[in-house]
């Protein structure tokens, strides 16, 4: 991956493409390169929908190789939802395909001179940008069908739905999966709106004639890949739990912990959670001829995705993830898997962030726009967004905007972004991450690594509450690193428990690039990425006062444990004090 | 009916396993440690407890030490395999990230009570359902009569197809008769579900 494709949509006379050598960004991938490009090339005070913002799409350092689970893609931008630097992460095929074509990043720049909509085609012979207004206001599924008709079925697509065209802050960027369906999304923070502001509806990529990327040391790489894959397979989480139940395996457990935000974060448990649990979802899928064990990209061996069919056995949507089942389920008081699956399909088709959409609907329910538990009303509200009605435009602005318009105090956002499916009052450590992550409220900002890394900077007693700050810091550093490599974050448990699997992960990078990285280097790289992001946010006007949870989390005890968020502001300010 | 024994084809078993992810009651020894309850009295291998059951809750609080945590009358014990992601790591018993959920970690009161017989409520999640659920169903679990009725009604077709026989309060019934039973609010049923094996019919005939 030694080149960067730049598509300037605002060039005089029409869109211009340029392929540059990777240059100063050499050695960076995924979130590392997206944050580097944004911090060096995007003015932090720019308007997110202006010509000065950029949308950077980047495979990870190991994408396009034979390493298992290396197909995640990063999308970097200044967020319309948050105003911060953003990295949204997705599965699907695009990361592998772009990497095999040699692109370290595709950078969308500028704003078109006219209001035409464009499609981009990339293959080994070059890049073509063509106006195509026939794509206007199509959903993601219809766009992909059209592209299949034009380019065949060996392509992959990166697209936006109606929400992105309307530049809504909840808009996502969709990536096609192995079945060429637009089911994997870079959702958080509004990347779809930025892509819409650039006038690009779809990027079609065809890697015909390319090969898997070749490591510097083939033998070492193959051995490391074998060890790494074996580690993932043998671990109970990555080898059994996730392939059997998918991410929705978390519903029962988080609910039991009393950390399952219910009815707009007013309760910590949902009475009907067994009806929407991963266990129930799997039995439903199997009974209808669906598939609960499925990879979101080629080379995934954890296979935590799935296929959800309707009552008649016809494809409806991908297996809804835990976050979707929570956002459109428990958080809205809805205990109906079929309704949730229907909404998941709409989210994917209109192209909206499933977490933000669910949180927004819950705030709307609190405002009386609909009743908690009314599944049909929730479906109707998503349609309002997709159609761009007046109400839809409000909801499409996200939970914070919706709360403001309807006069609701209880809006669970940090830096404008909704909290995901874990209440920070019950699990205070996740609250530390929500508050301090440069991304806004983000649950994926902290993932686990082996104790070797965490002992850098001092050992933390796990049973002492004082350890939360250090742990959150270590998790955020580690996640930033993992996000730069193209690896799926769910490798975390295998790496945590099995030092040999963590070592195999480092060996993959060393063998591929001819490096001699150690655990310390992992920490440094993660810190470097976070430092760039924190610096961008500071220049964008964010201060320590933005690293806080909404006040009501400190005042309103959450049943069943009846606790409030009690980590002090002074402690929160220590997270990035390095 | 207070004690029901279903004998079913293996294909019908998953329906009844739905119950073990909700709360069910077990009559056993109480006021003992989690380890003692599960391994000494409920027949779970100690190795299985330490390696497979990675996330445990007692009344919604995370359990870190199975030898020090005492289970009393009416307590709810929830067993799960390791969970993915940062939340999974945080909730794991004795895990490195336990501090991040310290406000819901179970803390023993230090008061000792002698072990005796009583009722404990259990919940089994994810991989543990398939691995331990059938044994609990075979042994018998206390469930609410109304919940059993709702389950039967929801899965009428599968039960009609997969049920090989029903015993209730010591008497034998036809499977279709079970579909008509009702219970009042608050009624409890000791439900046993056994997997039908081909030899069962021969044994009956003899």
Residue by residue, DSSP assigns B23-73 as -EEEEEEESEEHHIIIIIIS---HHHHHHT--EEEETTEE-S-TTT-EE-T
Question: Which own/partner pairs from A463-467 qualify as long-range (CB within 8 Å, at least 24 positions apart)?
Answer: A463/B64, A463/B98, A463/B99, A463/B102, A463/B105, A464/B99, A464/B102, A465/A428, A465/B99, A465/B102, A465/B103, A466/B99, A467/B99, A467/B100
- Which residues are within 8 A (CB) of A375 and not within 5 positions of it... i.e. 6 or more apart? A334, A336, A339, A340
Any idea which residue has 């705030």 for tokens? A363
Angle at the Cα of A50 from the Cα atoms of A47 and A52, rounded to 5 degrees: 90
From chain A, the residues in CB contact with B81 under 8 A are 236-237, 240-241
Q: Which of B18, B64, B86 sits opposite A446 (nearest CB)?
A: B86
* pLDDT for residue B84: 74
- Per-residue pLDDT tens over the stretch A153-195: 999 999 999 999 999 999 999 999 999 999 999 999 999 999 9
- Whether the CB of B10 is below 8 Å from some CB of chain A: the reply is no
* Nearest C-alpha in A relative to B102: A465
C-alpha distance from B86 to closest chain A C-alpha (Å): 5
Say if residues A425 and A553 touch (Cβ distance below 8 Å).
yes
Asked if pLDDT for residue A464 goes beyond 70, the answer is no
* pLDDT for residue A455: 35
C-alpha distance from A121 to closest chain B C-alpha (Å): 36
- Whether the CB of B86 is below 8 Å from some CB of chain A: the reply is yes
Stretch A141-159: mean pLDDT: 97
**Percent of chain A clearing pLDDT 70 (strictly above):** 96
Interatomic CA distance for residues A157 and A151, integer angstroms: 11
Which range in A371-385, A459-473, B42-56 is most confidently predicted, on average pLDDT?
A371-385
From chain B, the residues in CB contact with A490 under 8 A are 84-85
Say if residues A472 and A522 touch (Cβ distance below 8 Å).
no
- Whether the CB of A451 is below 8 Å from some CB of chain B: the reply is yes
pLDDT confidence tier of residue A458, bands split at 50, 70 and 90: very low
* pLDDT for residue A457: 29
* pLDDT for residue B111: 64
C-alpha distance from B174 to closest chain A C-alpha (Å): 26
C-alpha distance from B203 to closest chain A C-alpha (Å): 33
Say if residues A336 and A275 touch (Cβ distance below 8 Å).
yes
Interatomic CA distance for residues A406 and A420, integer angstroms: 21
Q: For residue A473, say if its preceding peptide bond is cis, omega within 30 degrees of 0.
A: no
pLDDT confidence tier of residue A240, bands split at 50, 70 and 90: confident
Cα of A476 vs its chain's centroid, Å: 15
Whole-angstrom CA distances from A314 to A303, A311, A351 are 21, 8, 22
* pLDDT for residue B104: 79
Measured in degrees and rounded to the nearest 5, phi and psi for residue B192 equal: -120, 140
Question: Per the CB < 8 Å rule, is B101 touching A429?
Answer: yes
C-alpha distance from A297 to closest chain B C-alpha (Å): 19
Question: Per the CB < 8 Å rule, is B85 touching A430?
Answer: no
Per-residue pLDDT tens digits of chain B, which is 206 residues long: 789 999 999 888 888 998 899 899 999 999 999 999 999 999 999 999 988 998 899 999 989 899 999 999 999 999 998 777 667 777 777 776 676 777 778 877 666 667 788 999 999 999 999 999 999 999 999 999 999 998 888 888 888 888 998 999 989 998 888 888 889 888 999 999 999 887 655 444 44
Q: Which of B54, B57, B97 sits opposite A256 (nearest CB)?
A: B57
Residues 268-287 of A with CB under 8 A from B: 274, 277-280, 283
Q: Which of B81, B94, B101 sits opposite A427 (nearest CB)?
A: B101
Question: Per the CB < 8 Å rule, is B97 touching A429?
Answer: yes
Say what the ipTM of the complex is: 0.86
Burial of B189 (0-12, 13-18, 19+ CB in 10 A): buried
Asked if pLDDT for residue A329 goes beyond 80, the answer is yes
Question: Per the CB < 8 Å rule, is B100 touching A472?
Answer: yes
* pLDDT for residue B86: 67
pTM (2 d.p.): 0.93
* pLDDT for residue B51: 87
DSSP character at residue B197? -
pLDDT confidence tier of residue A241, bands split at 50, 70 and 90: confident
Asked if pLDDT for residue A465 goes beyond 60, the answer is no
- Whether the CB of A186 is below 8 Å from some CB of chain B: the reply is no
Q: Among positive and negative, which fits the CA dihedral A225, A226, A231, A237?
A: positive
Q: Determine which of A6-20, A86-100, B173-187 has the lowest per-residue pLDDT on average.
A: B173-187
* pLDDT for residue B109: 67
C-alpha distance from B206 to closest chain A C-alpha (Å): 37
Residues 93-152 of B with CB under 8 A from A: 94-105, 123, 125-127, 129
* pLDDT for residue B200: 55
Q: Which of A250, A259, A468 sits opposite B99 (nearest CB)?
A: A468
Residues 68-87 of A with CB under 8 A from B: none
- Per-residue pLDDT tens over the stretch A98-112: 999 999 999 999 999
Interatomic CA distance for residues A13 and A332, integer angstroms: 48
Angle at the Cα of A405 from the Cα atoms of A402 and A406, rounded to 5 degrees: 85
DSSP character at residue B187? -
C-alpha distance from B201 to closest chain A C-alpha (Å): 28
């Amino acid at each position: 991956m030694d080149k960067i494709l730049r598509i300037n949509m605002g060039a005089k006379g029409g869109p211009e493409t340029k392929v540059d050598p990777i240059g100063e960004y050499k050695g960076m991938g995924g979130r590392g390169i997206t944050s580097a490009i944004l911090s060096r090339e995007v003015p932090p005070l720019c308007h997110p929908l202006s010509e000065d913002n950029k949308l950077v799409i980047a495979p990870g350092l190991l994408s396009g190789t034979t390493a298992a689970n290396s197909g995640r893609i990063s999308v970097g931008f200044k967020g319309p939802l948050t105003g911060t630097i953003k990295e949204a992460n997705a599965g699907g095929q695009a990361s592998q395909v772009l990497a095999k074509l040699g692109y370290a990043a595709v950078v969308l720049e500028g704003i078109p001179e006219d209001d035409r909509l464009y499609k981009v085609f990339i293959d080994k012979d070059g890049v073509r940008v063509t106006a195509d207004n026939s794509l206007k206001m199509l959903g993601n599924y219809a766009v992909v069908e059209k592209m299949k008709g034009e380019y065949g079925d060996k392509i992959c697509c990166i697209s936006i739905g109606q929400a992105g065209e309307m530049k809504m802050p909840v808009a996502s960027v969709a990536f096609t999966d192995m079945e060429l369906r637009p089911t994997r999304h870079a959702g958080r923070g509004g990347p779809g709106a930025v892509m819409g502001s650039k006038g690009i509806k779809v990027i079609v990529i065809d890697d015909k004639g390319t090969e898997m990327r070749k490591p510097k040391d083939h033998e070492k790489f193959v051995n490391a890949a074998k060890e790494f894959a074996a580690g993932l397979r043998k671990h109970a989480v990555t080898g059994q739990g996730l392939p059997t139940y998918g991410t929705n395996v978390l519903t029962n457990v988080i609910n039991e912990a009393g950390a399952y935000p219910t009815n707009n974060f007013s309760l910590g448990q949902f009475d009907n959670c067994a009806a929407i649990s991963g266990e129930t979802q799997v039995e439903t899928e199997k009974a209808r001829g669906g598939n609960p064990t499925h990879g979101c990209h080629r080379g995934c061996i954890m296979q935590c995705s799935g296929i959800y069919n309707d009552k008649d056995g016809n494809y409806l949507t991908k297996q809804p993830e835990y976050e979707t089942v929570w956002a459109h389920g428990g958080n809205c008081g809805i205990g109906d898997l079929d309704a949730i699956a229907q909404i998941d399909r709409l989210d994917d088709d209109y192209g909206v962030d499933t977490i933000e959409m669910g949180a927004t609907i819950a705030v709307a329910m609190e405002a009386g726009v609909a009743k908690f538990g009314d599944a049909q009303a929730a479906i109707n509200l998503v349609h309002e967004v997709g159609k761009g009605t007046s109400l839809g435009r409000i909801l499409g602005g996200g939970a914070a905007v919706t709360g403001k318009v309807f006069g609701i105090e209880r809006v669970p956002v940090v830096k404008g972004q909704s909290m995901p499916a874990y209440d920070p009052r019950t699990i205070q450590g996740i609250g530390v991450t929500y508050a301090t992550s440069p991304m806004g409220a983000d649950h994926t900002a902290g993932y686990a690594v082996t104790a070797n890394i965490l002992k850098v900077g001092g050992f933390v007693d796990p049973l002492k509450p004082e350890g939360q700050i250090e742990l959150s810091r270590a998790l955020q550093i580690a996640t930033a690193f993992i996000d730069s490599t193209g690896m799926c974050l769910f490798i975390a448990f295998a790496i945590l428990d099995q030092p040999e699997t963590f070592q195999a992960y480092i060996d993959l990078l060393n063998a591929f690039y001819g490096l001699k990285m150690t655990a310390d280097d992992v920490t440094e790289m993660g810190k470097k990425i976070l430092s760039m992001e924190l610096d961008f946010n500071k220049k964008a006007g964010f201060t320590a006062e933005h690293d806080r949870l909404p006040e009501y989390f400190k005042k309103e005890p959450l049943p069943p444990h009846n606790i409030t968020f009690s980590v002090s502001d002074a402690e929160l300010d220590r997270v990035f004090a390095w | 009916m207070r004690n029901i024994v279903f004998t079913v084809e293996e294909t019908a078993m998953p329906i009844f396993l739905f119950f073990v992810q909700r709360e069910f009651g077990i009559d056993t020894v109480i006021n003992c440690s989690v380890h003692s309850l599960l391994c000494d009295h409920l027949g779970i291998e100690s190795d299985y407890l330490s390696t497979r059951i990675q996330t445990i809750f007692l009344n919604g609080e995370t359990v870190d030490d199975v030898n020090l945590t005492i289970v009393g009358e009416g307590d709810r014990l929830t067993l799960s395999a390791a969970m993915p992601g940062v939340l999974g790591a945080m909730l794991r018993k004795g895990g490195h990230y336990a501090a991040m959920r310290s406000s819901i970690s179970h803390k023993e009161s230090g008061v000792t009570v002698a072990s005796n017989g009583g009722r404990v409520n259990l919940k089994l999640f994810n991989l543990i359902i398939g691995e331990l659920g059938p044994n609990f169903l075979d042994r018998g679990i206390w469930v609410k009569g109304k919940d059993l009725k709702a389950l039967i009604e929801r899965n009428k077709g599968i039960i009609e197809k997969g049920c090989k026989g029903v015993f209730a309060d010591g008497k034998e019934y036809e499977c279709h008769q079970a579909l008509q039973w009702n219970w009042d609010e608050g009624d409890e049923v000791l439900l046993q579900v056994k997997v039908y094996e081909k030899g069962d019919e021969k044994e009956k005939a003899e």
